[in-house]
Every structure is written in C-alpha cells, then in structure tokens.
Amino acid sequence: MRDGDNIRRVEALGVDFIGFVFHTPSPRCVCALPSYLPAKAKRTGVFVNRPLTEVAMWADHFGLQFIQLHGEEPPEYCRHLRQTLGLPLIKAFHLSRPDDLRRTLLYEGLCDYYLFEPRGTSPGGNGIPLDLSLPYNYQGRTPFLLSGGIGPDSIEALHRFSHPRWAGIDLNSRFELAPGLKDVERLKRFLQLINYKLPL
C-alpha cells in the first residue's frame, strides 16, 4: 500500500499485516514513505531477490516488522537475513502441483510463515485463484497463509478449507481500486463475512 489515508482506513478494519512492495517492476512498488504508516498492523516489506543490504535499508527506513520474500531466495539467505535483521520472515512458494511443496522442507525453522500462491506472470498479485487442494498435501511444521485471487466469491471455499497449520489469508488484487489502493468498503464487507470462520 502507498496512500496514507487508505492505509489508515484499512488498518482500522483490524487487519494483522499491511504490505509494502519494494519490487521495482510492480505497479504497487512504494518508493517513498507514505503520509501514514501502520501503528497496529504489522508493517511488512515485500521483496523479490534483493541484496541483504537493500532489505536492511528499507526495513530501517519504514520500521518494518516482517519481511516477506517472493523470489527464489535460498535457505541460507533466509538464515542470514534473520540473523542480521532479527525480523520474522514470510516465504512465498508458488504452487502448481503437489510436488512444489517439497521445497518448503529446506526452509523449516528459518521462516515464521509460508505463503502459498499460484504461479503467475509476476511474483505476486496476479489475481489467479490458488487450487486449494494443493495445500492439503502440506505436512510441514511452519504455519502458512493462503494467497492468490481471493475475493468475495472465495468465501465458501475458504469456509470448507481446513488444515492444522493454516494461519490466515493474504488479500490483494481482488480488493483494489487501483494497484496499491484498496477498496475499503468491499474489504470491510468481506472481513465481516469471513472473520468468524478464520483461525486468526
């Protein structure tokens, strides 16, 4: 997110995390401090294959509280990042078949959450729904978030989904008026319908 007033209104809905994308090719990329930064929701920086020094610079500049990695960052990168910054990590994994989950085994103990989303043309925010049959095959210990094309028509499928490590959902493109600008009223209605069913 980039607009200070929009950030403030979304935070007032009680969300747990608010993301800031530091990936230059993305239309959601934030290049300057917004006029308001979350005071309650966790400030989460989203990076794609960036040098550790750059991640550290933005983490300090924005007062980030979580780092979300959306590229091909290896386990050693995650280990070094945690040791250097002392911040919790979310690592995204792109799923198109059950075997894609095997890669998560390499990151056990290095991340606080995984994020499961479908493969798309960009590292995230493609608006493509995730096949919810895939996360059922996950047998790791790290809790995970579901992402990928989640919108108002996803409520029934999410109510049916169940997994002991499922920790929440990532809402993005289906609730935007423009890249990085959320439709607050639409998001509010969705949260009212689904919050009582979610594990968080």
Give the Cα separation of 167 and 122 in Å (integer): 24
Give the Cα separation of 19 and 152 in Å (integer): 20
So what's the pLDDT on residue 121?
61
Mean pLDDT by 10 residues, the chain (200 residues): 97 96 93 95 97 97 97 97 96 94 97 91 65 94 95 91 95 93 95 65
Would you state the structure tokens that stand for residue 112, as one six-digit string? 């606080």
Helix axes 75-85 and 52-62, enclosed angle (nearest 10) = 40
Please provide the distance, in angstroms rounded to a whole number, between the alpha carbons at the two ends of the chain: 22
Q: Which of 124, 147, 125 is nearest to 134 (CA)?
A: 147
Angle at 125 between CA 122 and CA 128, to 5 degrees: 90
pLDDT digits (tens, 9 = 90+) for 30-59: 989 999 999 999 999 999 999 999 999 999
- Report domain extents, the chain: 4-197
Which ranges constitute the DSSP H helices of 41-200? 52-62, 75-85, 155-160, 184-194
Looking at the structure, give the CATH architecture of the domain made up of residues 4-197: Alpha-Beta Barrel (3.20)
Give the Cα separation of 27 and 94 in Å (integer): 20
So what's the pLDDT on residue 11?
97
Give the Cα separation of 39 and 113 in Å (integer): 21
Q: For the stretch 179-192, what's the b/e string if a residue is b when 16 or more beta carbons lie within 10 angstroms of its beta carbon? A: ebbbbbebbbebbe
DSSP secondary structure code for residue 24 in this structure: T
Would you state the structure tokens that stand for residue 111, as one six-digit string? 């991340």
pLDDT digits (tens, 9 = 90+) for 85-94: 999 999 999 9
Q: Which of 113, 109, 130, 110 is nearest to 172 (CA)?
A: 130
The string of DSSP codes covering 169-185 is: E---GGGEEETTEE-HH
Q: Rg of the chain over CA atoms, in angstroms? A: 16
